[in-house]
Structure 1
Amino acid sequence: MPTPLSGDRIRQTFLDFYAARGHQVLPSASLVPEDPTVLLTIAGMLPFKPIFLGQRPAEFPRATTSQKCIRTNDIENVGRTARHHTFFEMLGNFSFGDYFKEKAIAWAWELSTEVYGLPADRLVVSVFREDDEAFAIWRDQIGIPPHRIIRMGEADNFWNSGPTGPCGPCSEIYYDFHPERGDDSIDLEDDTRFIEFYNLVFMQYNQDLEGNLTPLQAQNIDTGMGLERMAQILQQKPNNYETDLIFPIIETAAKIAGIRYTKADEATKVSLKVIGDHIRAVVHMIADGITASNLGRGYVLRRLIRRVVRHGRLIGIEQAFTTDVAESAIALMEKVYPNLRSREPAIKAELQVEESRFRETLDRGEKLLADIMSGLPKGGEICGIDVFELYDTYGFPAELTQEIAEEQGLTVDMAGFESEMAKQRDRSRAAHETIDLTVQGTLDKLGGQLHETEFLGYTEVSSSARVTVLLVDGKTVETATAGTDVQIVLDRTPFYAESGGQIGDRGYLSGDEVVVRVEDVKKEGSLFVHFGRIERGTLAVGDRVTAQIDLACRRRAQANHTATHLLQAALKKLVNPNIAQAGSLVAFDRLRFDFNLARPVTPAELQQIEDQINTWIAEAHGAQVAVMPLVDAKAKGAIAMFGEKYADEVRVIDFPGVSMELCGGTHVSNTAEIGLFKIISESGVAAGVRRIEAVAGLAALEYLSLRDQIVRDLSDRFKAKPEELPDRITALQTELKTTQKQLESLKAELALTKSEQLLGKAEAIGNVKLLVAELGNVDAESLKTAAERLLQKLGEGAVVLGSVPDPEKVSLVAAFSPSLNKQGLQAGKFIGAIAKLCGGGGGGRPNLAQAGGRDASKLPEALNTARQQLEAELAK
Structure 2
Amino acid sequence: MASSPEFLTGAQIREKFLDFYAKRGHQILPSASLIPEDPTVLLTIAGMLPFKPIFLGQRSPDFPRATTSQKCIRTNDIENVGRTARHHTFFEMLGNFSFGDYFKKEAIAWAWELSTKVFNLPPERLVVSVFREDDEAFGIWRDDIGIPAHRIQRMGEKDNFWASGPTGPCGPCSEIYYDFHPDKGDAAIDLEDDTRFIEFYNLVFMQYNRDAEGNLTPLQNQNIDTGLGLERMAQILQKVPNNYETDLIFPIIEAAAKIAGIRYGDSDDRTKVSLKVVGDHLRAVIHTIADGVSASNLGRGYVLRRLIRRVVRHGRLIGISRPFTAELAETAIALSESAYPNVREREATIKGELEREESRFLETLERGEKLLSEILASQPAQISGRDAFVLYDTYGFPLELTQEIAEESGLSVDLAGFEAAMEEQRQRSQAAHETIDLTVQGSLDKLAEHIHPTEFLGYSEVQSTVNVEAVLVKGQSVEEAETGSEVQVILPKTPFYAESGGQIGDRGYLSGESVVVRIEDVKKESDIFVHFGRVERGILRVGEPVSAQIDRACRRRAQANHSATHLLQAALKKLVDDSISQAGSLVAFDRLRFDFNCPRALTPEELQQVEDQINTWIAEAHEAQIAVMPLAEAKAKGAIAMFGEKYGEQVRTIDFPGVSMELCGGTHVRNTAEIGAFKIVSETGVASGIRRIEAVAGPSVLDYLEVRDRVVRDLSERFKVKPDEIPDRITNLQNELKATQKELDAVKAQLAIAQSDQLVSQAESVGEFEILVAQLDDGVEPDALKTAAERLLAKLGKGAVVLASVPTPEKVSLIAAFSKEVNAKGLQAGKFIGQIAKLCGGGGGGRPNLAQAGGRDPSQLKAALDSAKAQLVEGLKG
What interval of TM-score do these two structures reach, taking the shorter chain for normalisation? 0.5 to 0.7
The 2-side partners of 1:56 and 1:567 are apart by: 38
Distance 1:44 1:389, change over 3 A: closer
**Paired residue for 1:281?**
284
Distance 1:362 1:176, change over 3 A: farther
**Paired residue for 2:697?**
696
**Paired residue for 2:819?**
817
Aligned partner of 1:236 among 224, 235, 239:
239
C-alpha displacement of 1:290: 1.7
**Paired residue for 2:103?**
none
Helix, strand or coil at the partner of 2:248: coil
C-alpha displacement of 1:848: 2.6
**Paired residue for 2:674?**
673
Say which structure, 1 or 2, has more relative contact order (CA 8 Å, 6+ apart): 2
The 2-side partners of 1:162 and 1:608 are apart by: 52
* Letter matched to residue 334 of structure 2: E
| Pairs within 5 Å for 1:578-593 | 580-581=583-584, 584=586, 586-588=588-590, 590-592=591-593
The 2-side partners of 1:288 and 1:834 are apart by: 54
**Paired residue for 2:450?**
none
User: What are the superposed Cα offsets for residues 585-617 of structure 1, whole Å, 9 maximum, x if unpaired?
Assistant: 7353x4456x69797754478667656755664
User: What are the superposed Cα offsets for residues 552-574 of structure 1, whole Å, 9 maximum, x if unpaired?
Assistant: 66644554455467668888996
| Pairs within 5 Å for 1:577-616 | 580-581=583-584, 584=586, 586-588=588-590, 590-592=591-593, 602-603=602-603, 614=615
**Paired residue for 1:849?**
851
Helix, strand or coil at the partner of 2:292: coil
Instruction: Please give the root-mean-square deviation of Cα atoms over the aligned residues, in Å.
Output: 8.2
Helix, strand or coil at the partner of 1:679: strand
The 1-side partners of 2:729 and 2:5 are apart by: 79
The 2-side partners of 1:479 and 1:199 are apart by: 52
* Letter matched to residue 817 of structure 1: S
**Paired residue for 1:429?**
none
The 1-side partners of 2:428 and 2:50 are apart by: 38
**Paired residue for 2:407?**
none
- Count of aligned residue pairs for this structure pair: 768
**Structure 1 residue 344 corresponds to structure 2 residue 347:** no
- For the Cα contact (< 8 Å) 1:679–1:695, is it kept in 2? yes
C-alpha displacement of 1:306: 7.3
* Letter matched to residue 354 of structure 2: I
User: What are the superposed Cα offsets for residues 496-515 of structure 1, whole Å, 9 maximum, x if unpaired?
Assistant: 89967748859999999xxx
User: What are the superposed Cα offsets for residues 209-228 of structure 1, whole Å, 9 maximum, x if unpaired?
Assistant: x9966799xxxx99998654
The 1-side partners of 2:51 and 2:465 are apart by: 50
- For the Cα contact (< 8 Å) 2:291–2:644, is it kept in 1? no
**Paired residue for 1:331?**
331
* Letter matched to residue 90 of structure 2: F
The 1-side partners of 2:231 and 2:488 are apart by: 61
* Letter matched to residue 334 of structure 1: A
The 1-side partners of 2:816 and 2:250 are apart by: 53
The 2-side partners of 1:490 and 1:813 are apart by: 64
* Letter matched to residue 288 of structure 1: D
* Letter matched to residue 357 of structure 2: E
- For the Cα contact (< 8 Å) 1:827–1:849, is it kept in 2? yes
**Structure 1 residue 794 corresponds to structure 2 residue 801:** no
C-alpha displacement of 1:281: 1.8
Distance 1:553 1:120, change over 3 A: closer
C-alpha displacement of 1:280: 1.9
C-alpha displacement of 1:774: 1.9
**Structure 1 residue 752 corresponds to structure 2 residue 753:** yes
Distance 1:873 1:720, change over 3 A: farther
Distance 1:509 1:837, change over 3 A: farther
The 2-side partners of 1:757 and 1:832 are apart by: 27
- For the Cα contact (< 8 Å) 1:289–1:578, is it kept in 2? no
Helix, strand or coil at the partner of 2:791: helix
The 2-side partners of 1:686 and 1:673 are apart by: 33
C-alpha displacement of 1:334: 1.7
Distance 1:692 1:810, change over 3 A: farther
The 1-side partners of 2:47 and 2:510 are apart by: 56
Distance 1:854 1:318, change over 3 A: farther
- For the Cα contact (< 8 Å) 2:580–2:596, is it kept in 1? no
| Pairs within 5 Å for 1:409-558 | 502=504, 521=520, 529=533, 555-556=556-557, 558=559
The 2-side partners of 1:857 and 1:794 are apart by: 29
* Letter matched to residue 331 of structure 2: A
- For the Cα contact (< 8 Å) 2:36–2:44, is it kept in 1? no
Distance 1:65 1:760, change over 3 A: same
* Letter matched to residue 245 of structure 2: E
The 2-side partners of 1:410 and 1:109 are apart by: 44
The 1-side partners of 2:463 and 2:117 are apart by: 76
The unaligned stretches of length 5 or more in structure 1 are: 96-103, 204-209, 369-385, 422-452, 472-477, 481-485, 533-538
| Pairs within 5 Å for 1:153-172 | none
C-alpha displacement of 1:850: 3.3
| Pairs within 5 Å for 1:603-682 | 603=603, 614=615, 617=618, 620=622, 622=624, 654=654, 658-662=661-665, 668-682=669-683
The 2-side partners of 1:776 and 1:708 are apart by: 47
C-alpha displacement of 1:282: 2.3
The unaligned stretches of length 5 or more in structure 2 are: 99-106, 207-216, 338-343, 376-384, 400-414, 433-453, 474-480, 524-528
The 1-side partners of 2:761 and 2:782 are apart by: 23
Helix, strand or coil at the partner of 1:758: helix
* Letter matched to residue 819 of structure 1: E
* Letter matched to residue 844 of structure 1: G
- Superposition TM-score, scaled by structure 2 size: 0.57
* Letter matched to residue 698 of structure 2: G
- For the Cα contact (< 8 Å) 1:610–1:679, is it kept in 2? yes
* Letter matched to residue 344 of structure 1: K
The 2-side partners of 1:569 and 1:670 are apart by: 16
**Paired residue for 2:787?**
785
| Pairs within 5 Å for 1:797-808 | 797-803=799-805
The 1-side partners of 2:681 and 2:753 are apart by: 48
Distance 1:113 1:348, change over 3 A: farther
Helix, strand or coil at the partner of 1:757: helix
**Paired residue for 1:10?**
12
* Letter matched to residue 672 of structure 1: A
* Letter matched to residue 675 of structure 1: G
- For the Cα contact (< 8 Å) 2:92–2:231, is it kept in 1? yes
User: What are the superposed Cα offsets for residues 173-195 of structure 1, whole Å, 9 maximum, x if unpaired?
Assistant: 99887899999999999998887
User: What are the superposed Cα offsets for residues 355-384 of structure 1, whole Å, 9 maximum, x if unpaired?
Assistant: 98699999999xx9xxxxxxxxxxxxxxxx
Distance 1:511 1:783, change over 3 A: farther
* Letter matched to residue 674 of structure 2: E
The 2-side partners of 1:814 and 1:174 are apart by: 65
C-alpha displacement of 1:700: 2.5
C-alpha displacement of 1:675: 2.4
The 2-side partners of 1:120 and 1:509 are apart by: 70
Distance 1:387 1:67, change over 3 A: same
- Superposition TM-score, scaled by structure 1 size: 0.57
User: What are the superposed Cα offsets for residues 228-247 of structure 1, whole Å, 9 maximum, x if unpaired?
Assistant: 45543443334433223323
Distance 1:578 1:114, change over 3 A: farther
* Letter matched to residue 786 of structure 1: A
